Amino acid sequence: MIIDPTYKMATTNWSQVPEERHEGATGFALWKTTRVGDTRVRMVTYSPNYMADHWCEKGHIILCLEGSMTTELKDGRTITLTPGVSYQVGDGADAHRTFSSEGVKLFIVD
């Protein structure tokens, strides 16, 4: 990652960011993570049959790049992301967890 100290601008070559594996209730997620100040930026790939192992209350901006995923809100609503579709949720707004039957690649800012 290159950060311009004058403008606080950063570029990221995602091919050079190491992956971290995170196990789900089923399947796994591969995270490539960078930070700019307090902002975490990630490229995340969920394996087929991935199910999150927790209800998340953190805010995110999530853009689906490949595949699809369904996010379940604790109140029972669901949101499905497909390539080119995003969702935005604020901190503490709606507890949510994610499932992907086929696998998915996401760009996430939180």
Q: What is the pLDDT of residue 36?
A: 83
Looking at residue 62, its pLDDT comes to 95
Q: Are 71 and 87 in contact (CB under 8 A)?
A: yes
Q: Residue ranges of the chain with pLDDT lower than 50?
A: none
Q: Which of 102, 97, 96 lies closest to 83 in space, CA to CA?
A: 102
What pLDDT does 2 receive?
53
Q: Give me the pLDDT at residue 102, please.
A: 97
pLDDT at residue 42 in the model: 96
pTM: 0.87
| CATH architecture of the domain covering 2-9+18-109 | Sandwich (2.60)
User: In the chain, where are the structural domains located?
Assistant: 2-9+18-109
Q: Are 27 and 44 in contact (CB under 8 A)?
A: no
pLDDT at 66: 98
> How far apart are the C-alpha atoms of 97 and 17, rounded to whole Å?
25
